[in-house]
Amino acid sequence: MKKALIIEDSRSIILSLISTLKQFISVECYFAVSAEGALELLNEEPFDVITLDGFLSAGHGRDILKQMSLEQMNKTIIYSSDDAFVKECKEMGLSAINKRADIHEAMKQALIEKNLI
């Protein structure tokens, strides 16, 4: 079974991401609602996929990315309503989804790109 870390501060989005991920892969989901909690989990556990919100109530996804290892960054799917941040992430070669997109289809494509399905 794969392990996923969902870094998100909205309960409804966490539940949506868990549901979406479980439709495509057999996965055990962990979540963090803050940058501090996310970094703690990232230092303790290896994850197969990481979803990262661009804006958390207590920090920005960019700050978490800066503290990730290259291996962790390559496993990350960023989703944000900030078009500029999505574009910046894509230019860095990262998977990035606009929150206004169909999350189900966009997540499926991102998981395919990461060879997880």
pLDDT per position as a tens digit, 52-70: 998 888 778 888 999 999 8
Task: Report whether pLDDT(117) > 90.
Answer: no
pTM > 0.75: yes or no: yes
Sketch out the chain's domains with CATH numbers.
2-113 (3.40.50.2300)
Question: Which pLDDT belongs to residue 57?
Answer: 80
**Which H or E element spans position 50?**
strand 49-53
Range 37-47 average pLDDT: 94
pLDDT per position as a tens digit, 81-90: 888 889 999 9
Strands 76-80 and 49-53: parallel
